[in-house]
Amino acid sequence: MSMDILELIEKHYPLKPLHWKHKNEVLETDAGTKRVRIWTDERTMTWHFNWREQLESNTLLTDRMIRTLDANWFLPFEDHFLTLHDERYEPFPKHSHEQTWGMLLGKLLSQGIEQPIYENEHFSETREQMVQQYGVDRSDLNIPILNRSLPEAKRRIRTVETIRNRYRHLKIPSLEPSILTHQGKRVHGRLFWQGGNEPPERSMYGLCDFLSDWRLATDTKSMYKLLDAIHDHFPLEGGYDQLLAADLIAPREVQRCVRRLDSTDDHSVSEILDQFEREWESNRTLVEEVCRWIEHRAKKVIR
């Protein structure tokens, strides 16, 4: 299979593959390191193509689909599709570059609202669905530390529901489910953003993950600058800040914990629970800080 891919790339792309760096994923070529992505779903591939194209600018680069010799941006590959992307490794700095990062995230949010998606544009989950989705109904696991958190997790879901109901009129951006800082690389001094290939989701969870990641890598002040910068390109006030807070408040660490518990043996239960507690606390701090930023912005607007 791998041989087939290399031959296919050599045949259709204006470059010469040398060897796999990571088999079937990353390869070295005479034009630099490239990443191969295989898409099973054409709509997902198209969504990813569109945002990459739209974000690309003089100040912001993306890992766009490399065009074939025929100027196509994908190749049919067996029953799927193949695309080729530049791959870079030098991370883009965070400190003092909040504006650039903020621009990237703001644009991701903006195009996430505009880009058509095959799902409802608004949140449609009921509280009961959320309770189930996040595993907040899993008192059957009979783990005290988890059970202890479930009532609070339910309260968090109620908060999420309340906020979503309040801003039901807003379109929810579609984002990749996971956006992390390590996806930003530096190419000729510019931010080069390497996206993923997961189906998009109508939520701001991706941004939540990014903020969490950012805060761990930097500090609160830097995160506030980043939020200010995002706001410059995608106005968060007027509801999106609240929706961001709601998505942060959603008990996703409970969901992760339950999933891990469901798929593990007893030996690692204590580790899973330790991790759960750490994530709970870490996310709580993040919520507090983001909410402080929201309040601060609100005061500035009033003045």
Partner 1 sequence: MTERNQSTLEFSIEESVWLNKGQEVEELYTVDLNPEVTIEEVDDQICIKGYLCLTGEYRCADQTEEETASEESTYLGYRSFSQLNEVSDDVVKLDHRFPVDITLPKNRVLDKDELTVTVDDFNYEMPTPSCIEVFAAVSVSGVYENQGYVSEGFENQESVYENDDVYETREEDDEDDHELYEGGSNPFPILEFESRRSPEPDEHEEEMEYKAERREPQVEFLSRSEERYDYSDAYGHLSDLRNSDTSEYEEEYEEEEEPYRPDEYEYEENDEEYDYEEEIEENDDHEEVESSSHRPPREENALYLTKMLTREDEELTKMKMCIIQAGDSLDSIAGRYDIPASQLMRVNRLESEEIEEGQILYIPVSVR
Site residues for partner 1 per CB under 8 A: 144, 147-149, 151-152, 154-156, 158-159, 162-163, 242, 245-246, 249, 277, 280-281, 284, 287-288, 291, 294
Residues 194, 163 contacting (CB under 8 angstroms)? no
Q: Which of 2, 147 has the CB closer to partner 1? A: 147
CB of 74 to partner 1, least distance (A): 42
Nearer Cβ to partner 1, position 9 or 250?
250
Cβ-contact 51, 112 below 8 angstroms: yes
3-class SS shares of the chain: helix, strand, coil, % to 5: 55, 15, 30
Shortest gap between Cβ of 245 and partner 1 (angstroms)? Answer: 5
| Closest approach of partner 1 to the CB of residue 296, in Å | 13
Which residue's CB is nearer to partner 1, number 74 or number 276? 276
Provide the minimum distance between the beta carbon of 263 and partner 1 in the complex, in angstroms, as a whole number. Answer: 23
Q: DSSP for 124-157, please give it.
A: ---HHHHHHHTTTT-GGG--HHHHHHHHHHHHHH
Question: Given the complex with partner 1, which of 101 and 123 has the nearer CB atom?
Answer: 123
Q: Considering the complex, what minimum distance in angstroms separates the CB of residue 152 from partner 1?
A: 5
d(CA 167, CA 242): 8
Whichever of 119 and 288 has its CB closer to partner 1, that residue is 288
Using CA atoms, how far apart are residues 47 and 261, in angstroms rounded to an integer?
33
Main-chain phi, psi angles of 288, to 5 degrees = -60, -45
Instruction: Decide: 234 and 109 in contact? Cβ < 8 Å.
Output: yes
